[in-house]
Structure 1
Amino acid sequence: MIKQALLGEFLHEAENTRQILKAIPDSALDWKPSEKNWTTAQLASHISEIYNWYEYTFNQDVFDMGVYQYDKGDISKAANILAKFEENVTTAQRVLENSDENTYLNNWKMEIHGKILFPPTPKVQVIRGFLFNHLYHHRGELVVYLRSTGNKVPGMYGPTADDKI
């Protein structure tokens, strides 16, 4: 039952993520709001990468970032980032669909070479916070990036200022 609720949200929000990634023009990829921020391409790539973490979260109790490797591919074109998203979201959906609800209360942690980065926490809480909410946070940032570069923002939860009602 929990899995079905997570899957429903996952599918709905993956479509929202797809829409915002499709809204990124190549001309905005190098823009960033400050020297401390990622570029639009880096932020969009990170959003796509979060879907790559499902395997490590659902099927392991420890995610060791010290050995984790991810090939983000060529992020110089928005279409490439979208293609990587599609690849990752397909895999993430399969992981979620095949997950065992009996493990959702297992403690999960993230570490790097033995140093704890994310303390032991029930897996279902990590799924909601580390995977889902983390993604939504970065999508919100991407909305600001799009607006700041003069681009339209798709309506994910209803009309936006760009929509004529």
Structure 2
Amino acid sequence: MSLAESIFTEFDIQAPITRIFLERLPESKLTWRPHERSMTAGQLAFHLARVPGGVVQAVQQNPVQAPEFAMETQPTSVGEILETFDRSVVTVRKVLLAYNDDSMRETWRLMRGDEELLAIPRMQFLRDIMLNHWYQHRGQFSVYLRMLDVAVPASWGPSADERDPGQGFRWVHRPALVA
């Protein structure tokens, strides 16, 4: 298995799980936020939707200029979030598997003007930001759902909302998204 296939396999398992989280956001709670300095539920969901495709597109350039980090866009509907997520998944599928092992090991650079901010293997950036950063925000989003009294989906194992009390622990595995 190539390095890109390895990352893609993990992504392909996690993408449908993330979509389930996004589908649970009530349309009426898009502008809700747990704290004045927090993103709204819609902004956080939109960030979850955009991260994979945006990251995999960014690493196509080397070096790349660091983006200006501003507050995420406020979506107008859950449908907009899900459409963005679906496009993001398609982008990952198109771009990620095109990388060979040499390009995954290549030092990838993030710049601000002429200043180098980061120089790491492309594969590490994809794992750190496209996957780990994404999971961190999915965990954050699960807290938003809990605070909104929305059933939190299972991710790595059963959630308190989807556990069958008489069955004990059962591993949860979601099927991959349909291509």
TM-score range normalised by the length of the shorter chain: 0.7 to 0.9
Instruction: Kindly report which structure 2 residues correspond to 1:109-128, keeping only aligned pairs within 5 A, or say none.
Output: 109-117=109-117, 119-128=118-127
**Counterpart secondary structure, 2:31:** coil
Instruction: Kindly report which structure 2 residues correspond to 1:1-165, keeping only aligned pairs within 5 A, or say none.
Output: 1=1, 2-51=3-52, 52-57=54-59, 59-66=60-67, 75-117=75-117, 119-165=118-164
Residue type matched to 2:16 in 1?
A: E
Hey, what's the Cα distance between the residues in 2 that align with 1:92 and 1:23?
23
Q: CA deviation at 1:42?
A: 0.7
Q: TM-score, normalised by structure 1?
A: 0.88
Structure 1 residues 67, 18: CA separation in 2 closer, same or farther (over 3 Å shift)? same
**Gaps (5+ residues) in structure 1?**
none
Hey, what's the Cα distance between the residues in 1 that align with 2:4 and 2:163?
37
Aligned residues: 160
Residue type matched to 1:42 in 2?
A: Q
Q: CA deviation at 1:32?
A: 1.0
Structure 1 residues 78, 155: CA separation in 2 closer, same or farther (over 3 Å shift)? same
Q: Sequence identity, in percent?
A: 29
Q: CA deviation at 1:157?
A: 1.7
Residue type matched to 1:130 in 2?
A: I
Structure 1 residues 49, 114: CA separation in 2 closer, same or farther (over 3 Å shift)? farther
State the Cα deviation string for residues 14-67 of structure 1 (Å, max 9, x = none).
11111111111112211111111100111111111112220221x222221359
**Counterpart secondary structure, 1:104:** helix
Cα contact 1:66–1:113 (8 A) shared by 2:
no
**Gaps (5+ residues) in structure 2?**
165-179
Cα contact 1:109–1:121 (8 A) shared by 2:
yes
Residue type matched to 2:24 in 1?
A: A
Cα contact 1:61–1:106 (8 A) shared by 2:
no
Q: Alpha carbon RMSD of aligned pairs, Å?
A: 2.1
Hey, what's the Cα distance between the residues in 2 that align with 1:19 and 1:138?
14
Q: Which protein has the larger Cα radius of gyration, Structure 1 or Structure 2?
A: 2
State the Cα deviation string for residues 61-89 of structure 1 (Å, max 9, x = none).
22213599xx96x7121111011110111
Residue type matched to 2:80 in 1?
A: N
Hey, what's the Cα distance between the residues in 1 that align with 2:99 and 2:68?
23
